[in-house]
Amino acid sequence: MNLEKIHLLETELENLEKAVKMRRKLIEKKTKKVLKNVPFKNFPYEDIYKRCCENVIGYIQIPLGLAGPLLINEKEYYLPMSTTEGTLVASVSRGSKAISLSGGCKTNIINDGMTRAPVLTCKDLQEAILIKDYCIKNFDKIKDIFESTSLYAKLLKIKSTIIGKHIYLRFKSFTGDAMGMNMVGKATQKVLQSLLEIFPQTKLISLSGNMCTDKKATAINFIEGRGKSVVSECIIKEEIVKSVLRTTPEKLIYLNYVKNFIGSSASISIGGNNAHAANIVSAIFLACGQDIAQCVESSHCMTLFEWHENKKDLYMSVTMPCLEVGTIGGGTHLPAQSAMLDLLNIKGSCEIPGENAKQLAIVICSAVLAGELSLMAALSTNELIDSHMKLNRKNKE
Amino acid sequence: MNLEKIHLLETELENLEKAVKMRRKLIEKKTKKVLKNVPFKNFPYEDIYKRCCENVIGYIQIPLGLAGPLLINEKEYYLPMSTTEGTLVASVSRGSKAISLSGGCKTNIINDGMTRAPVLTCKDLQEAILIKDYCIKNFDKIKDIFESTSLYAKLLKIKSTIIGKHIYLRFKSFTGDAMGMNMVGKATQKVLQSLLEIFPQTKLISLSGNMCTDKKATAINFIEGRGKSVVSECIIKEEIVKSVLRTTPEKLIYLNYVKNFIGSSASISIGGNNAHAANIVSAIFLACGQDIAQCVESSHCMTLFEWHENKKDLYMSVTMPCLEVGTIGGGTHLPAQSAMLDLLNIKGSCEIPGENAKQLAIVICSAVLAGELSLMAALSTNELIDSHMKLNRKNKE
Amino acid sequence: MNLEKIHLLETELENLEKAVKMRRKLIEKKTKKVLKNVPFKNFPYEDIYKRCCENVIGYIQIPLGLAGPLLINEKEYYLPMSTTEGTLVASVSRGSKAISLSGGCKTNIINDGMTRAPVLTCKDLQEAILIKDYCIKNFDKIKDIFESTSLYAKLLKIKSTIIGKHIYLRFKSFTGDAMGMNMVGKATQKVLQSLLEIFPQTKLISLSGNMCTDKKATAINFIEGRGKSVVSECIIKEEIVKSVLRTTPEKLIYLNYVKNFIGSSASISIGGNNAHAANIVSAIFLACGQDIAQCVESSHCMTLFEWHENKKDLYMSVTMPCLEVGTIGGGTHLPAQSAMLDLLNIKGSCEIPGENAKQLAIVICSAVLAGELSLMAALSTNELIDSHMKLNRKNKE
Amino acid sequence: MNLEKIHLLETELENLEKAVKMRRKLIEKKTKKVLKNVPFKNFPYEDIYKRCCENVIGYIQIPLGLAGPLLINEKEYYLPMSTTEGTLVASVSRGSKAISLSGGCKTNIINDGMTRAPVLTCKDLQEAILIKDYCIKNFDKIKDIFESTSLYAKLLKIKSTIIGKHIYLRFKSFTGDAMGMNMVGKATQKVLQSLLEIFPQTKLISLSGNMCTDKKATAINFIEGRGKSVVSECIIKEEIVKSVLRTTPEKLIYLNYVKNFIGSSASISIGGNNAHAANIVSAIFLACGQDIAQCVESSHCMTLFEWHENKKDLYMSVTMPCLEVGTIGGGTHLPAQSAMLDLLNIKGSCEIPGENAKQLAIVICSAVLAGELSLMAALSTNELIDSHMKLNRKNKE
């Protein structure tokens, strides 16, 4: 068989697992490598064919652990995390314990909407201004066109940015329980068709002009929000900081200021005022079938440690302005991933559209709260170095 | 059994798979959920125990496909990608075809070094300046201490940043075939012990002061590099742009300028001058056992499309300043992941230390080149919309 | 006389110029320095007393030149520039000539509003959300309170940003012909008084929480606009590019891409996609009595050079999203500054409030267009080096 | 006379003031405007002709005040400030008083070097790497060529950034008491001539590729420094915070965290972790003849307020990484400006080259310290609002 055609095996063999087997053989022959350690059995290929991956030769396995339980808005959750970073699950569990013992965390969604921003090049500035004005004056009409493409989409806002004769239209939409990129893309295309008929001299340059912004670190996402914007907060009692986390509120507050604010500001960061939010986001994204490339901006996070108003306990919060998550689509239907969404009671579409996806965002944000607390505690003590230093000083005396 | 203790099951049962089974039962009982769809058999738990994950209940599966082949520095590679984003593998394959037909891409590492930046708080500015000067004058001595902790570490640079009375010391080190965070962390600790003895009034606030910077989007990584800094470039013949990619060099060049430069600049971005580098980086990271949370900065990428000097063909390049990769450690030893490194001929440590990790960076960067080319081509044509518009105009006539 | 009291001389002497003279003497005595070269006569001290400067000892002089004329929206303007940077006025004149010979530039205001963003710290996240919702639901009521403090203020928008339990409220207002910081500050205070009565547990931390953002480089200004957002564009005929600017459209377009886009992106910039906008902005700011410290963000500018659609001439534009200007207040009433506003026909308040300030923004933006064109042309030719290289090669032959 | 030629009046009339007079008349005639309020007498036109400004019609006047005295490194300074922003001088004076009463501030230069970064486009990536390597291996040779163009220049570093086939070479040089842009530009040109002879296939695109970076807000300046990098710090006794500034250390520390760190981070800023550094920088720049357009990055500043180690007094610092200043060149020779440098004992070149310019940087940075302290104190009390609220509550009771 011609290797040029190995992507057509599924069509030719009419059996998906057989196609995978045949492809492995062909690759083995061609590369003189052995693929026997790549697992491929017991996998629902029908669920990914023409949907999730092409030229499949099997699957990878990543360990799945449960952190927690964590008390979020007065309910207990086990947190599914898929990772190869040792101690990560244990660390989130420690943070969860400290939070839960203090009464749990409170959390809420403060913004919700997926975005897509096509770019159009106009005849001149004047035409760009006409398009901007048109979008303001005809918002309801555009909204109708936009929403005609889907049962769930609700157009919330069009933010126009004019640069010379180019105009970037950032469409923001509610997308139910889907992460929503496809939904918004399709709806945006429909709107563009209508716009281009009204402004025939204008050219569509791209369905995405990078002001959306998908899978890159940009200020516009942090400032305007993308996906879910979530905050989670808690108050940790001083004695629990000491007993569970082996540090003090004072140490944590100072560390947060020196590391997550001075350090992150001096390195010039977008969304980087945190210790390791990306670790927790990526582990839950994997476990719950999310689009892992969206970790780039979904892990933007601002972590605060302050004195509680009693000047004794610790106030802590994490703010995540662009968590892009869904409970349908992507890899959410794969066996383990689907089971993990079920474990969180948010599998598939919710009767009240969007509530499952929001709940996933809330769980991730709260898990980040726990992860930040635990790592910051560990860093604040510098145990390894401190003990060495003490020993050394003693020896000198 | 007490749920509080479920993380201790491995110790108590002395059989790793049994511990996983017991944990699943306990969780099922507690949560009243069924975990039978979470696979757990046929997995080398001994390889991840006390190393990659805690509180394990099984593993997740992610489809593994092969893109390519892609001609990189005159050698052909199949590109392992683990993803649930449909068409991604196919798209990279299309880009690979266009590149390979044009003679392949050339690529090179232009910088190599992992970093860790502890923060120290001094008595005052004067002491911070003394530490900075000390590190300059005693670089060789510090280098000896640093390198005494590992066979592979080679200290390359200490970049000192003074902010008020705080000093951030960014240690940069060669780390062989390991991604190197642990290696550099351990070596940095050793240096800090020595420094703190010389400057007893100075306090170590944190082993990481966020100027490293790990798993966040920061300018310092983009400007100074972290991990491997790689460039990959190619020249695509005009006829191949037309036949394989169904677009023109002119369209691609203009699109790149409007989207990846004007659009990304207007959204204020760090490392976001690209179309979808994060998709390719995360898929190969997963397939090759890399630390997926490092996608945040490993996907920083600047994509260029220009006229080749003959004003006819297309010149293209991608520049990735902070690709953090290794061929040992992390998840590189898991079955499929290890097989994929083997497929690329870069499994484990190289005889010439560091060459395998460099090669992995080169392959990823070149795969990004292919992925950028293919998606940009698709965006430049707006096929769906264009065909609709043509039809519509015809109907009107 | 006690030097501690030298700031009270105006009160004590009841003659402003005498106070200045006395202060000079006291300072000369104290410092043993001679101030005779500091001019102080012929200055309207009554216009600056208790208004522009304290502890006055005279004034500085900065040369004032006129660049242009420049054809803006079909009217000719001489551009007042106060600077000590040699060739700057000449360079803007050259750019103006090339633009005017090509038919002039077109320009327009695309956004107009001054901002102030106080920060409040709430009891908890929930209260912050209540305040955000209150501002949305009671916008009209807040608008009434806001506008009750001034004849000109028109509240346009309140953008709420919640970070943990902190809320930043960015008030955006039309401010007539004033730059408007004071107007918006006063109005914001009034609104805050009302808000704090409704939310008595909330604390006002600061009238400015740095999301305004005044006199700093921030993405929020670039993305959301502050003051006037202006675009100016022109088409320069190929023969004029060659004859007046001694370069070619092709060279300019490539230079702009390599310098203002690749270079600025690689240095990670906010608003820095230009060659030297700050030079022109600061020179006109000085000449027209603007707040010179606001140059920081008023000089944010994105400069585009592209092929005109005929693929022969040059299309050029500059986009300036946060030009903060006014024709009343600040130093606009000083003798030369006032005369320069008069020269531009925009002195003081316009009958249609705000039109003078808008016109000033339009003139500055168009002057930047001319300045960018001329410097880019000079850079594109590298005359000094090129001629040396030619000579050198000839000698070798 | 033809208006086209008004820039030639100086040549034709052979008397500079007469030329200015004639130009005014011509402009008045053409524009039908009166320029009599624009001062033009008593000005040393010979000092600015062919050096600072073209097409001169007179000069502008900006009030000049003295703030302070401020105790810097145990010496007392009056701070020259030229501004039209009322209360600015008074505010810096108040801050100076609080600092001086507490024993003054300590300050030091931590980095010194002006930069220029040309961009070259190579045949391909390989050639770019060759140039990078060449610059490393031949640093001494390049240094000789660089320094041959000036008595003062000392080449400190060449930072190479490769993006595709483009290479940006950031030359950093000591420049004595000059701000140094011209000096470095000239020296860089000389080096480029030599480089282009060795790499004849490489093209110089621009003497500045925007990685220098001049007059724009960029992370590279903040991270790598440009001009002088300076820190100034002080400890303010609690009782002085209360008596002079009418606030408390606690309030200041919390305000700084909420405004200058959370607020500035949430607005995504480069160098904006401060309250109003640009006000002080621009006022002293004007008073001392500096290049006012460089305020953009010279005002980058990170302001810290922390508890002093006794947990009672206030520790404060400002860090300014890119203060671009000189005591020769620019407008430093104008009458008032020169007198102000003399007042600071730093007029012209220092016997030890560079010491005057460094001292100017130290004075500016310390003045910023005073300005930040005073404005932050005012903001922390919210006096206007607080008093209103108290009154209101009392009335209600």
- Distance of alpha carbon D58 from alpha carbon C189, whole angstroms: 42
- What's the pLDDT score for residue B397? 55
The partner residue sitting opposite D268, judged by closest CB among A222, A257, A304, is: A222
Which runs of E-coded beta strand occur in B190-301?
203-206, 217-218, 227-236, 269-270
Chain B residues with CB-CB distance to C306 below 8 A? 257
Structural domain includes residue C315: yes
* Domain boundary residue, one of A175, A206, A237: A206
| Cα gap C9→C13, rounded to integer Å | 6
Residue C286 is part of a domain; what is its CATH number? 3.90.770.10
Q: Which of C144, C177, C206 is the last residue of a domain?
A: C206
Across the strands, what pairs with D323?
A: D228
Residues 201-230 of B with CB under 8 A from D: 219-220, 222-224
Confidence class of residue D62 from pLDDT cuts 50, 70 and 90? very high
**Which residues in chain C have their CB less than 8 angstroms from residue D382's CB?**
204, 206-207
Tens of pLDDT, residues D103-151? 999 999 999 999 999 999 999 999 999 999 999 999 999 999 999 999 9
CA distance A191 to A120: 13
C134 touches chain A (CB under 8 A): no
Query: Is residue C8 in a domain?
Result: no
pLDDT at C36: 97
Q: Is A85 one of the catalytic residues? A: yes
Indicate yes or no: pTM above 0.95. Answer: yes
Active site residue C144: no
Neighbours of A99 (CB within 10 A): 27
pLDDT (0 to 100) of residue D5? 86
306-345 in A: which are within 8 Å (CB) of B? Answer: 330-331, 334-340, 342-343
Q: Minimum mean pLDDT among A383-387, B72-76, B127-131, D309-313: which range?
A: A383-387
Whether D262 and A222 lie within 8 Å, measured CB to CB: no
Mutate to test the interface with C, among A134, A233, A261 (most CBs of C within 10 A): A233
pLDDT band for position A393 (50/70/90)? low
Residue contact B331–A84, C-beta within 8 A:
yes
The model's pLDDT over A257-283, given as tens digits with 9 standing for 90+, comes to 999 999 999 999 999 999 999 999 999
Same domain? B200 vs B252 = no
Of A58, A103, A119, A62, nearest to A85 by C-alpha is A62
Residues of B in contact with C264 (CB under 8 A): 265
C75: closest CA among D29, A130, D31? Answer: D31
D351 inside domain: yes
Say if residue D248 is in the same domain as residue D191.
no
Q: How far is CA D22 from CA B243, C63, C97, D16, D55, in A?
A: 67, 16, 22, 10, 11
> Is A184 part of a structural domain of the chain?
yes
d(CA C183, CA C219): 24
Residue B392 scores a pLDDT above 90: no
Distance from CA of B286 to the nearest CA of A (A): 8
Are D279 and C293 within 8 A, CB to CB? yes
Q: D86–C339: do the CB atoms touch at under 8 Å? A: no
CB-nearest partner of C163 from D93, D266, D269:
D266
Residues of B in contact with D121 (CB under 8 A): none
A219: chain B residues, CB-CB within 8 Å: 267-269
pLDDT band at D390 (very low <50, low <70, confident <90, very high): low
Residue B268: pLDDT above 80? Answer: yes
Tell me whether residues C262 and B223 touch, CB distance under 8 A.
no
Mean pLDDT of A121-128: 98
Rounded Cα gap, residues C34 and A98, in angstroms: 68
Kindly indicate the confidence band of residue B265, based on its pLDDT and cuts at 50, 70 and 90: very high
Q: Are residues C347 and C307 in the same domain?
A: yes
Round to whole Å and give the CA distance between B340 and B288: 6
Low-confidence spans in chain C with pLDDT less than 70: 1-2, 383-397
Mark yes or no for CB contact B88/A334 under 8 Å: no
* Residue C265 touches partner B, C-beta closer than 8 Å: yes
Chain A / chain D CB contacts < 8 angstroms: 39
Domain edge (last residue) among D176, D206, D236? D206
- In whole angstroms, give the CA distance from residue B373 to residue B376: 5
Q: For B197-248, how does the pLDDT look when each residue is reduced to its tens digit (9 = 90+)?
A: 999 999 999 999 999 999 999 999 999 999 999 999 999 999 999 999 999 9
Q: CB C261 to CB B265 under 8 A?
A: yes
pLDDT tens-digit series, residues D334-344: 999 999 999 99
Helix or strand or coil: residue B117? Answer: coil
Does D85 have pLDDT greater than 80?
Answer: yes
Helices (H), A47-150: 88-101, 125-137, 139-147
Residues C94-108: tens digit of each pLDDT: 999 999 999 999 999
Instruction: Tell me the pLDDT of chain D averaged across its residues.
Output: 96
Question: Cβ neighbours of residue C107 under 8 Å, at least 6 residues apart?
Answer: A125, C72, C73, C230, C231, C232, C233, C362, C365, C366, C369
Do B264 and B328 reside in the same domain of the chain? Answer: yes
Residues D259 and D324 reside in one and the same domain? yes
pLDDT tens-digit map of D288-310: 999 999 999 999 999 999 999 99
CATH number at residue D147: 3.30.70.420
Same domain as B332, residue B374: yes
CA gyration radius for chain B?
A: 25
Element (H, E) at A312: none
Regarding whether D160 and D107 lie in a shared domain, the answer is no
- A300 catalytic per annotation: no
Tokens of B132: 């900075």
Q: Are B83 and A210 in contact (CB < 8 Å)?
A: no
What integer is the mean pLDDT of B164-187? 97
pLDDT of residue A5: 86
Residues of B in contact with C269 (CB under 8 A): 265
Give the mean pLDDT of D226-239.
Answer: 98
Model confidence at B382, pLDDT cuts 50, 70, 90, reads: confident
> Does pLDDT of A384 surpass 60?
no
pLDDT for res B99: 98
Are D22 and D154 in the same domain?
A: no
> Which of D193, D282, D338 lies at the smallest CB-CB distance from C292?
D282
C-alpha torsion D51→D53→D55→D61, nearest 10: -140
Q: Quote the domain boundaries for residue D38.
A: 16-61
Residue D3: what pLDDT? 76
Does pLDDT of A3 surpass 80?
Answer: no
Average pLDDT over residues A226-237: 98
We report the CATH number of the domain holding residue C24 as 1.10.3270.10
For B298, counting Cβ atoms within 10 Å of its Cβ (0-12 exposed, 13-18 middle, 19+ buried), the class is buried
H or E element at residue B68: strand B56-72
Sequence-distant (≥ 6) Cβ neighbours of residue D381 within 8 angstroms:
D246, D247, D251
Least confident of B4-13, B191-200, B324-333, C369-378: B4-13
Cβ-nearest to C205 among D89, D197, D255? D255
The arithmetic mean of pLDDT across residues B147-153, rounded, is: 96
The closest CB to that of A231, out of C162, C219, C315, belongs to C162
Contact check, Cβ <8 Å, B165/D315: yes
Instruction: Tell me which chain A residues have a C-beta less than 8 angstroms from the C-beta of C304.
Output: 163-164
Contacts of A162 in chain C (CB under 8 A): 110, 231, 319
In sequence order, the 6+-apart residues with CB closer than 8 A to the CB of B67 are A55, B78, B79, B81, B89, B90, B92, B93, B96, B367, B370
Cα B46 to Cα B59: distance, rounded to the nearest angstrom: 14
Residue B222 is nearest to which of C222, C257, C268, comparing CB atoms? C268
Which pLDDT value is given to residue B3? 75
Query: Does residue B68 share a domain with residue B57?
Result: no
Say whether C233 and A319 touch across the interface (CB within 8 A).
no
Does residue A1 have a pLDDT over 80? no
Is B6 within the bounds of a domain? Answer: no
Q: Are strands A269-270 and B217-218 parallel, antiparallel or unpaired?
A: antiparallel
In a domain, C228, yes or no: yes
Q: Which residues of C touch A108 (CB under 8 A)?
A: 125-126, 129
| CB within 8 Å: A164 and C220 | no
B59: nearest CB among A61, A85, A281: A61
Phi, psi of D101 (to 5 degrees): -65, -25
Query: What is the pLDDT at residue B4?
Result: 78
Which residue out of A12, A46, A76, A85 is catalytically annotated?
Answer: A85
| Residue from C219, C225, C157 nearest C188 by CA | C157
- Asked whether residue D385 carries a pLDDT value surpassing 70, the answer given is no
Same-domain pairing of C50 and C142: no
Helix ranges (H only) for chain D are 9-13, 16-31, 45-48, 88-101, 125-137, 139-147, 181-198, 219-224, 238-243, 249-255, 264-266, 277-287, 295-298, 335-343, 355-381, 383-396
A48 found inside a domain: yes
Q: Given CB atoms, is A197 within the 8 Å cutoff of chain B? A: yes
B33 is catalytic: no
Residue B93 clears pLDDT 60, i.e. is over it = yes
Regarding whether B228 and B103 lie in a shared domain, the answer is: yes
Over residues A286-335, the pLDDT tens digits come to 999 999 999 999 999 999 999 999 999 999 999 999 999 999 999 999 99
Q: How many CA atoms lie within 13 A of C67 on its CB side?
A: 36
Number of structural domains in chain C:
3
Subunits that touch chain C (at least 3 Cβ pairs < 8 angstroms)? A, B, D
The reply to whether B82 falls in a domain is yes
For A184-230, the pLDDT digits (tens) are 999 999 999 999 999 999 999 999 999 999 999 999 999 999 999 99
D164 contacts B304? CB cut-off 8 A = yes
CB of D105 within 8 Å of a chain B CB? The answer is: no
Each residue of B17-56: pLDDT tens digit?
999 999 999 999 999 999 999 999 999 999 999 999 999 9
Q: Which residue of D has its CA nearest to A270?
A: D268
- A96/A127 same-domain check: no
Q: Which of A350, A345, A337 is nearest to A48 (CA)?
A: A337
Q: Which residues of D are catalytic?
A: 85, 215, 291, 388
Inter-chain CB proximity D233 and B164 less than 8 Å: yes
Q: Given this model, what pLDDT does residue B310 score?
A: 96
| Three-state secondary structure of chain C | CCHHHHHHHHHHHCCHHHHHHHHHHHHHHHHCCCCCCCCCCCCCHHHHCCCCCCCEEEEEEEEEEEEEEEEECCEEEEEEEECCCCCHHHHHHHHHHHHHHCCCEEEEEEEEEEEECCEEECCCHHHHHHHHHHHHHCHHHHHHHHHCCCCCCEEEEEEEEEECCEEEEEEEEECCCECCHHHHHHHHHHHHHHHHHHCCCCEEEECCCCCCCCCCEEHHHHHHCCEEEEEEEEEECHHHHHHCCCCCHHHHHHHHHHHHHHHHHHCCEECCCCCCHHHHHHHHHHHCCCCHHHHHHHCCCEEEEEECCCCCCEEEEEEEEEECCCCECCCCCCHHHHHHHHHCCCCCCCCCCCHHHHHHHHHHHHHHHHHHHHHHHHHHHCHHHHHHHHHHHHHHC
Per the prediction, chain B carries an average pLDDT of 96
Among the ranges given (A158-162, A244-248, B72-76, D6-10), the one the predictor scored with the smallest mean pLDDT: D6-10
Residues 6+ apart with CB under 8 A from A138: none
